[in-house]
Amino acid sequence: MRRLPSLNGLRAFEAAARHGSFTAAAAELHVSQAAISRMVKLLEERLGFALFDRRANALVLTERGRALQPTLTEAFDGIARRVEQVSAMRAGPVLTVGMGATVAVRWLIPRLSSFHLAHPEIEVRIATGGAGAPMNDDWTCAVLLGDGQWPGYEAERLFSSSLQPVCAPRLAAELRRPADLAGATLLHVSHWGEDWPRWLAAAGVADPAAASGIRGLSFGSYAMTLQAAIDGVGVALAPRLYILDDIAAGRLATPFGLAVPMVHSWYLVHRASRREDAGLAPFRDWLYALCAEME
């Protein structure tokens, strides 16, 4: 016979420990912050020891709390995964991949048919994610741009890329040298503000720090920036990964040969508990083969 504490208390503790906040745990479990605090307190009384050191502006795990949380997280992940699999009622596995919309639309999805042909038994679901979105434990894995540091997750480097200016072919014909960009409209991605200054410095433009003084427009993603470039609005600076198909199709052209390495790389990210998921190993192998073709 199992002698378990309250499952609600365990869930409340695990969510609070993972987020480092009663408030965030309450939002996840759709209860009040006071309810989370009360359930954790009752759990601590049942166990006979403290799980958190409650400070004025911080919630810090005790030694016993740190020892308990990873096991609970793995157990709840396993339960959620099994429920998802049973609910799907499929003969084959479900592979949910989180990634940014731009890398999905401009790189992965156009190549996904080869994975489906090789593994028709695996149902692939592409979920919205990316640099500005947190990892979601409903995902099997994610393909993310970053520095390889996602605490609590395993990250396997896939590939890096370089940044290169692109624009409509008509506009490219008017650009002979980087200095000509002074008369062009530069298209910026708002959360990658250092892209253009880095490229301009590498190109030897006299005052790259004054890049903001060159006429420009700012967009919230590479996808929007590249669409503006295709439409002839101006010159975009984007990872080559995103522009290869448009260059091949003649929608975009590269006015200059210079490309600068990106600071970050793309990684395959997943929890250790997902390592044995039936769909992950074939997808990983397919990704590595795809990346090898890019080298």
One-letter amino acid identity for 77?
A: D
**Structure tokens, 62:** 């005790």
Same structural domain for residues 271 and 235?
no
Same structural domain for residues 130 and 205?
no
**Structure tokens, 22:** 């009663």
Report how many domains make up the chain.
3
Same structural domain for residues 204 and 239?
yes
DSSP H/E element including 236: strand 235-239
Cα separation, 248 vs 242, whole angstroms: 12
Domain boundary among 69, 87, 105: 87
Asked if residue 63 belongs to a domain, the reply is: yes
Same structural domain for residues 13 and 137?
no
Q: Look at strands 216-219 and 154-159 and give their pairing.
A: unpaired
Planar angle of CA 238, 244, 249, nearest 5 degrees: 120
Asked if residue 198 belongs to a domain, the reply is: yes
Crossing angle for the helix pair 7-19 and 33-47, nearest 10 degrees? 110
Among all chains, which residue has been given the structure tokens 């949910």? 96
Cα separation, 70 vs 152, whole angstroms: 9
DSSP H/E element including 78: helix 63-88
Nearest C-alpha neighbor of 41 from the set 59, 27, 29, 28: 59
Dump pLDDT digits (tens) for 169-198. 999 999 989 988 888 899 998 877 788 988
CATH code (residue 209) = 3.40.190.10
Domain boundary among 87, 113, 146: 87
Q: From first to last of the 295 residues of the chain, give the pLDDT tens digit.
A: 677 788 898 999 999 999 888 998 999 899 999 999 999 999 999 999 999 998 877 789 999 999 999 999 999 888 888 887 777 665 678 899 998 888 888 889 989 999 999 999 899 999 886 555 567 778 899 998 888 888 889 999 998 889 999 999 999 999 989 988 888 899 998 877 788 988 999 998 865 444 444 567 888 888 899 999 999 999 999 998 899 889 999 999 999 989 999 888 889 999 888 888 889 999 999 999 988 876 5
Owning domain of residue 124: 92-158+264-294
